[in-house]
Structure 1
Amino acid sequence: MAARRLAGFKAEISRARDLVGIGQSLSSITNGLVGGEDHYRSALVHSVAALDYYVHGVVLDRAIDILMGRLNVAAPSKVGLSFSAIGKIMAAGPLGSADVEMSARTYVAERLGLETYQRPDDIGTALAMVGVPKIWSTAFPQDAHARKTALGVIVSRRNRIVHQCDLDPLSGGGATPIISADSLDAISVIDGIITEVDRYC
């Protein structure tokens, strides 16, 4: 399942790079009169969305495998389903049937939809919940702190773009500058992290 999630992630990362390319082309054909900054911002936001999409998918797939008895994990796992949801899953058919699995997938996906998996610690907690413990120190034994810090900076910038229009309160309300390299670097960091993390999922 993780391989399928990685392919989807790679497709979205490619779309983020395409957004940067559109911004660069727009700036080039207008001799800089129209800048590509909003495309660069969109690309950065999209790369974080691709990360979140990937982690949600892996957590969902592994949670269903645990519920269906296909995956045993040593750590206690929980996704916080209501008793009502559990009752509906159990009533969907014989244990192990496709109907039960579809019902479980529906309710677990709905529950996971309340979470965001963008910050490094949230990603680590989510993956540990479904049997992938200590992902940062496992995937990045030499530089886990540096990778987490780099991702945290990108997510903070994403949040400023999404929630504050990337406006800099210290400059009298002007937008925080961004160039194509900023977005391409962010995309590369996220791509590298997920490519390595996927080896353990």
Structure 2
Amino acid sequence: MQSALDQFHININRVRDLIAIHNSVRAKSTSVLDLSDMLRAALVLAVSALDYYVHQIVRLGMLEIHRGLRTEPPAFSRFQISLGTAREGLKNPPDFASYLEDEIRQRHSYKSFQQPDSIADAIRLISYKKLWLEVASIMGRKDQDIKQELKIIIDHKIRSQNYL
């Protein structure tokens, strides 16, 4: 899990660097130069970093559950795998983790973990915790407010991508 967090920090630092470049160029240029694309790109990168992080921690968490290193929440047992993966796992149990990892990647490859509900659904595969209540407790805010802010960011990112 630490590798996923480390990569998230690297990705967010890239976002911060892009914003710093924007601020530096803005300070040294006139308003004639439109720098808004840099901020839109930073927003898209930030949302992408979140999405990638959720993909990574869910994949790693599911593999930890399979290996018996993490408690199995109900959503994990409802995760569907293909008959091919099940067959390969039964034929070669020691290698099943690699088949499971491929299956998780394939099943999640088309999913976007950006909206609050989709993020919470993904986290339920690896945790009993109610994600947004936990986040709200840490941030000292209401869970609905946090989810609403994230929705606004995602909606703005979607509109911004139309400009990129």
Q: TM-score, normalised by structure 1?
A: 0.72
Letter in structure 1 aligned against 2:47:
V
- 22-31 vs 149-158, which deviates more? 22-31
Q: TM-score, normalised to structure 2's length?
A: 0.86
Q: Among 94, 103, 110, which residue is 1:107 paired with? A: 103
Moved over 3 A (4+): none
Residue aligning to 2:154: 155
Query: What is the match of residue 50 of structure 2?
Result: 51
* Pairing of 1:30-109 with structure 2 (within 5 A): 30-77=29-76, 78-91=78-91, 93=92, 95=93, 97=94, 99-109=95-105
CA positional deviation for 1:9:
0.7
Give distance in 2, aligned partners of 1:10 and 1:124.
Answer: 21
Contact 1:66/1:73 (8 A) holds in 2: yes
Aligned partner of 1:181 in structure 2 is none
Give the distance between the partners of 1:132 and 1:159, measured in 2 at CA: 30
Match of 1:18 in 2: 17
Structure 1 residue 56, shift from structure 2 partner: 0.6
Instruction: Flag structure 1 segments of 5+ consecutive residues without an equivalent.
Output: 167-201
Is the 1:124–1:136 Cα contact (8 Å) retained in structure 2?
yes
Structure 1 position 24, deviation (Å):
2.1
* Cα contact 2:26–2:35 (8 A) shared by 1: yes
Query: Is the CA contact 1:124–1:133 (under 8 Å) kept in the aligned structure 2?
Result: no
Maintained 8 Å contact 1:79/1:111: no
Deviations 1:110-155 (A, max 9, x none): 2111211101111111101222431111231342111111111000
The runs of 5 or more residues in structure 2 that have no matched partner are none
Distance 2:44 2:75 in 1: 33
Does the C-alpha gap of structure 1 residues 132 and 22 become closer, same or farther in structure 2, counting only changes over 3 Å? farther
